[in-house]
Amino acid sequence: MFERRLKVMLGLLVAALFVVILRLAQLQLVEGSHYRRRAEQSLILRPRQTPFVRGSILDRTGEVLASDEACWNVSVDFRVFAADIGNDPVSIRRLARQWRRAREYSASIPDEEIEQGLRREIADMWWEIGSFAAGRLRPASWEDPRERAIDVYDQVTRIRRAVTRWRGFDAPVGEEMVPHAVLTGLDSAEQIAARERFSRFPWVHVEPSTERRFGADATPLAHVLGRMGRVDAGLVADDPNADDPFARYRGDERVGVSGVEYAAERMVRGRRGQVTKDREGHLVEEGFIEAQNGRDVVLTLHGGLQRRLYRLLGETVETMPDSCGGSIVVLDVAGREVLALVSYPSYDPGRFDELYPVFRDDTERLPLRFRAVANRYAPGSTIKPLICLAGLMSGRITLSTRETCTGYLFDDVRDRWRCWRVHGTSQRKAHGSVDVVEALVGSCNVFMYRLGERLGVEGLCSAFDMVGIGRSSGIGLREESWGINPTPGWLMMNKNIRVTPGLARLFAIGQGEVSLTPLQVANLMATYASGRYRPVTLIRSDTPTPEWTLPVTSEQQMAVRRGIYGVVNDPDGTAYRHARFVNDRWALCGKTGSATSHPWPTAYRIPYVDVDGVENVALIPAGAKGGALERFEAEYPGAVADRDGVEVASRWPRHAAPGGQEHSHAWFGGYLQALDASGQPDWSSEPPVAFAVLVEFGGSGGRTSGPLARSVSAALVDMLGIELDVDSRKFEQVFP
């Protein structure tokens, strides 16, 4: 009985085992390919991040000045860079295993043979991508893909070192886990061709991206808009969003490095998204995160006005044999919004990468220099109204104070402390007895010398500080220089000199160490026009900037305004002949200035000993000794420079100023004053716009910048309308 039961149970077990074996055979042999395919479909590929669209930059009328446009990039996995460029054995082995699986090579083939084939395949890949890039329809955008890959590899290596220092231990960074672009800006047809051509390489990807594009005629706006550059190691290490994988900076990204692109980086930058797919290419809904695009930025700038003033400035500069450039800045007096911020010469921002070597070596015209905010100049006579205001505010002079000008401060000293020279003669202007208004109309140096002595350096510097000299203008641009307010402390620290009456005299006529940018001079003119100082604004905001009213009486303010009016409109004014603006509604008020300047270096001669011990001399284009040495070290690796033997090889202008004079920059600072029905100034009306004009090495402010200021005035009336309404109606329609 027991044996029969045992046999039955064993039979049942054998039968069950037979059924299991049959089912396993069915699953593996009959339906194996089906389930293998189902299993592969269920596998999810590594999620990929998707790009955001960087916000656009618009002018105050709604014109798009810069925006992102859709394009495609050819990207290569970083492990290929590490294997090929870094010769990393770990990356080589991992790639070899991937290559073996992709090509279904037999396991009997040695690893060394697979690795050799892999290296040949990578070399073929670079050749394929390079020939594809060289054959594109836009040759200007061509860049050797492998050279770009080397740059990326070096950049990621620096990022890893920087992050290692920050973490305190070494570990891979995110940039080593993602593909990096080696060819950018492909259009729709090119990306299709690229997918077909590179499909044999599993580590090459054609990915959607964006490219920064500029509106028509962008050259006059290049400095303002700024440039994009690659993310550097320092930015990655100090990134406040380092813990957010979708917001943090990656080594393959581009970031604003100058102009508005830099100033508005946090606004225009978005947040990456994520896409997850299975092996069949189907989207996995749980792994989808939508990218957040950046916000658009609206500037206070008027694009049409900017372009017109750029052309006017260029026409003037190109007629001056010694001039290498200049600037025009226009401000709205009420809100200090920047309406124009012109620097000449400029460049086509769409061709910057292509033409950078040319721009870099042009040390005479300096097209990369943002003159309007970055260059400091002695303000010359444009500072004289401020000196008069300082004297009146402090009580050092009154409206009835008079000084006698014989052409010289000291009758027995004729080689210095003189009034300005009458053009075409060797004589000095003798103004006779003058008060504040007459001193401004005739730009009397002797009056200012004596007032400077009364105020002293400390009193003058206090007035300079009151109108923002030596401080940020508030524009928020990376390139901005704050000017120099030469306080006694600054003079001792930077020049090792003590204050003297002579320094006070120099500062009172806008010479010596005091210096301003064209933007600061324009704001100075707006302060003269309104009696108020306030920071300037370039990026439009609903939050007004604070303002400070000068502690002067209305009579004192009016005296200065009358003097500035007379400079252009009184027959005795220094700008009457060259700048008088004839218009039924507006009068041009302003102050000319001729700021003495020395020629600046354009190249340096650097003695050195090369790696073979041979002595030689290098000629390096540069505007400063430090920049010349820095470039020398980059271009002559291993060579040892004789730093004490470095000397200036050339300067601009190349020759001495004509007629035994000194070189000088030509200034005109002004504003438009409304006229009443009788054609007289309506002093109850605050001027709506103020501006500054500078022509480098232009000589006389009256003869050179005066006519240009008159043309600027005409352009302002034409572009903004007869009412000079800076708040364009078109802007209100586009941005209600």
Q: What span, in angstroms and rounded, lies between the C-alpha atoms of 299 and 480? A: 17
CA-angle at 368, arms to 364 and 370, nearest 5°:
105
Q: Above 60 in pLDDT, residue 606?
A: yes
Q: How many CB atoms lie within 10 A of CB 674?
A: 17
pLDDT, greater one: 725 or 711 = 711
Per residue, what are the HEC states of 321-344?
Answer: CCCCCEEEEEEECCCCEEEEEEEE
Q: What span, in angstroms and rounded, lies between the C-alpha atoms of 578 and 212? A: 43
Q: What span, in angstroms and rounded, lies between the C-alpha atoms of 563 and 670? A: 12
Q: Please, which pLDDT band fits residue 31 given cuts at 50, 70 and 90? A: low
pLDDT tens across 80-129, in order?
888 888 877 777 777 777 776 766 666 667 777 777 877 888 888 888 88
The tokens describing 43, both together, are 């596998």
pLDDT, greater one: 548 or 160 = 548
Q: Where are the domains of the chain?
A: 48-298, 303-598+659-734, 600-652
- What CATH number was assigned to the domain covering residues 303-598+659-734? 3.40.710.10
The tokens describing 168, both together, are 């305190």
CA dihedral 630, 634, 640, 641 (to 10 degrees): -30
The predicted pLDDT at position 389 comes to: 96
Q: How many CB atoms lie within 10 A of CB 669?
A: 34
Domains 48-298 and 303-598+659-734 share a fold: no
The predicted pLDDT at position 357 comes to: 85
Q: What span, in angstroms and rounded, lies between the C-alpha atoms of 505 and 494? A: 20
Residue type, 378: A
Q: Is 713 helix (H, G, I), strand (E, B) or coil?
A: helix
Q: Above 60 in pLDDT, residue 4?
A: yes
Q: Above 70 in pLDDT, residue 413?
A: yes
Q: Please, which pLDDT band fits residue 168 given cuts at 50, 70 and 90? A: confident
Label residue 574 exposed, middle or buried (CB < 10 Å: 0-12, 13-18, 19+): buried
Q: Please, which pLDDT band fits residue 25 given cuts at 50, 70 and 90? A: low
Strand partners, 64: 58
Whose tokens are 């596998």? That residue is 43
Residue % of the chain over a pLDDT of 70 = 87
Label residue 517 exposed, middle or buried (CB < 10 Å: 0-12, 13-18, 19+): buried
Q: Please, which pLDDT band fits residue 729 given cuts at 50, 70 and 90? A: very low
Q: Is residue 345 reached through a cis peptide bond, with omega within 30 degrees of 0 on the bond before it?
A: yes
The predicted pLDDT at position 434 comes to: 92
The tokens describing 579, both together, are 């700048």
pLDDT, greater one: 355 or 337 = 337
Q: Please, which pLDDT band fits residue 179 given cuts at 50, 70 and 90? A: confident
> Mean pLDDT over residues 612-617, rounded?
90
Label residue 696 exposed, middle or buried (CB < 10 Å: 0-12, 13-18, 19+): buried
- Based on C-alpha coordinates, what's the Rg of the chain? 35
The predicted pLDDT at position 139 comes to: 44
Region label for 238, one of left (φ > 0), alpha (ψ between -120 and 50) or beta (otherwise): alpha
> Mean pLDDT over residues 650-658, rounded?
84
> Mean pLDDT over residues 292-306, rounded?
94
pLDDT tens across 536-545, in order?
999 998 888 8
The predicted pLDDT at position 158 comes to: 82
Q: What span, in angstroms and rounded, lies between the C-alpha atoms of 334 and 526? A: 8
> Mean pLDDT over residues 186-197, rounded?
85
Q: What span, in angstroms and rounded, lies between the C-alpha atoms of 702 and 729? A: 36
> Mean pLDDT over residues 620-637, rounded?
90
pLDDT tens across 478-502, in order?
999 999 999 999 999 999 988 988 9
The predicted pLDDT at position 282 comes to: 64
**Which of 332, 350, 303 lies closest to 63 in space, CA to CA?**
303
Which residues, including other chains, have CB under 8 Å from residue 321's CB and lie 6 or more apart? none
The predicted pLDDT at position 295 comes to: 93
The tokens describing 460, both together, are 């003058």
- On whether the CB atoms of residues 343 and 557 are closer than 8 A, the answer is no
pLDDT tens across 228-262, in order?
888 877 777 777 887 788 878 877 778 899 999 99
- Helix locations, 135-273, DSSP H: 145-167, 188-197, 222-225, 233-237, 259-263, 265-268
The predicted pLDDT at position 28 comes to: 66
The predicted pLDDT at position 102 comes to: 67
The predicted pLDDT at position 243 comes to: 79
Q: What span, in angstroms and rounded, lies between the C-alpha atoms of 339 and 309? A: 11
pLDDT tens across 549-603, in order?
999 999 999 999 999 999 999 999 989 989 999 899 999 999 999 888 889 999 9
Q: Above 70 in pLDDT, residue 425?
A: no
The tokens describing 136, both together, are 């594109």
**Which of 297, 224, 300, 212 lies closest to 259 in space, CA to CA?**
224
pLDDT tens across 512-535, in order?
999 999 999 999 999 999 999 999
Q: Above 70 in pLDDT, residue 138?
A: no
* Averaged pLDDT score across all residues of the chain: 85
Strand partners, 326: 344, 695
Q: How many CB atoms lie within 10 A of CB 162?
A: 18
pLDDT, greater one: 501 or 657 = 501
Q: What span, in angstroms and rounded, lies between the C-alpha atoms of 506 and 261? A: 39
Q: Please, which pLDDT band fits residue 289 given cuts at 50, 70 and 90? A: confident
- Kind and range of the H or E element at 433? strand 432-434
Per CATH, which fold does 48-298 belong to? Penicillin-binding protein 2a (Domain 2) (3.90.1310)
Q: Above 50 in pLDDT, residue 728?
A: no
Residue % of the chain over a pLDDT of 90 = 47
The predicted pLDDT at position 159 comes to: 79
The predicted pLDDT at position 541 comes to: 87
